[in-house]
A and B are shown apart, each in its own frame.
Chain A
Amino acid sequence: MSVVEKHKEEAVYVYQAPIRIWHWIQAFAIFTLAVTGYLIASPLPSVGGEAYDHYIMGYIRWYHFVAAYMVIIGFVFRIYWAFVGNSHARQIFLPPVWRPSWWGEVWHEVKWYLMLISEPKKYTGHNPLAVLTMHVLYVWGTVFMIFTGLALYGEGTGPGSWQHSYFSTWIIPLFGQSQDVHTWHHLGMWVIICFVIIHIYVAVREDIMSRQSIISSMISGWRMFKDDRPPDDLH
């Protein structure tokens, strides 16, 4: 933050409290899901004794499902907030892909990452490349995990349950069979892990190298700027 202090500081309130709480709950839940999911597919070493004394796989699955419902409820809430929240709350759901100028800005951002230009544009919200990545990998990735996850969950709750009626009945034949849904759900985890690696890296890098604050904004809600020229996305 030492860099910020050098300039005349201007701040914009970007991330409303519900968004920030949602963000960190999602982060925690997705981390839990990836760890427990991996252990569902490749369980811990076998334990001895009476079956009655243990419930290891049971708990691993239970934590997976608890975190899964946190993601589901959180995601539904997040969509609701996209309607009632500020304009930034809608960004990751609606990348303006129909606007050529927007793609130009995506390209500008790509060049910034390829280090072909010395200065990025300045944004109060997400930069266009971030919006694109979050929209494709995070939003659709999560939708994919929720749908395939509920289809698998419905296999356990069985016919008659809402999970089975609304998800398993059509998703399982769509993929072929149950085993295929497991495989794609599993692959989806790796897509999300790749997203998380990129997401954390660029958040840290942008925090240091871009013209606005990133990580602290997701804690305080305020976007700080490191120079006093006008942002490129305030129209």
Chain B
Amino acid sequence: MHETFYEVMRRQGITRRSFLKYCSLAAGALGLSPAYAPQIAQAMETKPRIPVLWLHGLECTCCSESFIRSAHPLAKDVILSMISLDYDDTIMAAAGHQAEAIIEETIQKYDGNFILAVEGNAPLDEDGMYCIIGGKPFVDQLRHVAEHCKAIISWGSCASWGCVQAARPNPTRATPTHKVPGLADKPIIKVPGCPPISEVMTAVITYMLTFEKLPELDNQGRPKMFYSQRIHDKCYRRPHFDAGQFVERFDDEGARRGYCLYKVGCKGPTTYNACSTVRWNGGLSFPIQAGHPCIGCSEDGFWDKGGFYERLTDIKGFGVEASADQIGMKAAAIVGGAVAIHAGVSVVKRITQKGDDA
């Protein structure tokens, strides 16, 4: 039997006081009332750690990087001890055959009771040969483990949507978890972002442990508590947006005054994520606070929406790449031109006809 979280934490020298502090923090992050803190504490004291198999497909490891940097000084330890990361290529001690053996062991011991966390995604072209793990295509490993898990967490935009490796023209046919053909039908929680915010990642796991169920998901499979509002809805620069005060160029007065970044391409109005509330690096800051527009990293296909510094999206098709305005103005000009010519011909015709009548 796995140890409980609490046991692990105590073993790591964490005081009970810090432990309780973490519990109230977690309750806060989850948007729960402080009354839930004891419930979280109790869960951690009594429930065995959830075994997690953390698989890596095509990815850059930014999700892992984010995860191990969870803000609260305690969180790092808590998180690493909270779930028993039985297998995680990047941070586990085992290597080679030994490491691969852990997967089989976990499957045998906890069949149907462990969580599969997927970072990155599976390339499907050439039978998955673009991502080989232990001599086998990653997609096979993914299908095999998914068969036996309880639920799947798709970490980051790669596993959730596809991200950069799936950007046009997606040379390896990189495919997000929920679209992998032949994957066992298991609940999938998408935690998009490039990377997702560490507090969001740890809170999702804490929730699953405490309440022994999946967090409530929106109809695209994202936890509602972190992905139901846009960056724009809670952005501290929003008063400048409403006032009509924009940064026009990165070196202008507006930029120095911290005006809204809409005109330099901010995707905050179309991006669902918790950056403007939870922020990054322990609530220190987030991109917009640092003066950079949101690039929409938690949205599907954000690489393929034209320039990061342009407000209007490129529309691709018919071999052209242009914004809605460029296409629309051309269409209107063609229609307008046709109308003008038609009117001209009509007038000429009418005059000549009148001549005939007379």
Q: A-side interface residues toward B, CB under 8 Å?
A: 41-48, 51-58, 60, 113, 115, 118, 155-156, 158-159, 169-170, 173, 176-180, 182-183, 186-187, 189-191, 193-194, 197-198, 201, 205, 208-209
Contact = CB atoms under 8 A, between A and B. Distances in A.
A201 B339 contact: yes
B299 A179 contact: yes
Main secondary structure of the interface of A (DSSP, over half): helix
Interface string B296-318: 10011110010000011101000
B86 to A, nearest CB: 34
B32 interface: no
Contacts of A42: 311-312, 325
Given A57-B244, A178-B271, 8 more contacts: A42-B311, A42-B312, A55-B242, A177-B301, A179-B267, A182-B313, A186-B328, A190-B325
A43 B253 CA distance: 17
Contacts of B229: 158
B328 A187 contact: yes
Contacts of A189: 324, 328
Contact of B324 (A158, A159, A187): A187
Interface residues of B, number: 55
A43 B262 contact: yes
Contacts of A183: 312-313, 315, 324
A115 B349 contact: yes
**Max chain B C-beta neighbours (<10 A), residue from A173, A177, A189:** A177
Contact of A48 (B245, B302, B335): B245
Contacts of B262: 43
Interface string B247-284: 11000011000010011000101111000000000000
B220 interface: yes
A46 B239 contact: no
Contacts of A156: 233
B324 A186 contact: yes
Contacts of B242: 51, 55, 57-58
Contacts of B353: 118
A177 B335 contact: no
B312 A190 contact: no
A41 B311 contact: yes
21 contacts: A43-B262, A46-B244, A46-B247, A46-B248, A51-B242, A51-B243, A54-B245, A55-B244, A56-B243, A56-B244, A58-B242, A115-B345, A159-B228, A173-B220, A179-B296, A180-B313, A183-B324, A187-B327, A187-B328, A189-B324, A209-B346
A44 B324 contact: no
A227 to B, nearest CB: 14
Interface of B: 218-220, 224, 228-230, 233, 239-248, 253-254, 259, 262-263, 267, 269-272, 296, 299-302, 305, 311-313, 315, 324-325, 327-329, 331-332, 335-336, 339, 342-343, 345-346, 349-350, 353
B224 A179 contact: no
A206 to B, nearest CB: 11
Nearest to A173: B220
Contact of A179 (B228, B245, B270, B350): B270
B343 A205 contact: yes
B267 A47 contact: no
Contacts of A170: 219
B296 A198 contact: no
B233 A113 contact: no
Contact of A46 (B230, B245, B267): B245
Contacts of B269: 178
Contacts of B247: 46
Contacts of A205: 342-343, 346
Nearest to B257: A48
Contacts of B240: 51
B313 to A, nearest CB: 5
Contact of B300 (A113, A177, A190, A198): A177
A179 B243 contact: no
Contacts of A179: 267, 270, 296, 299, 302, 305, 313
Contacts of A186: 312, 324-325, 328
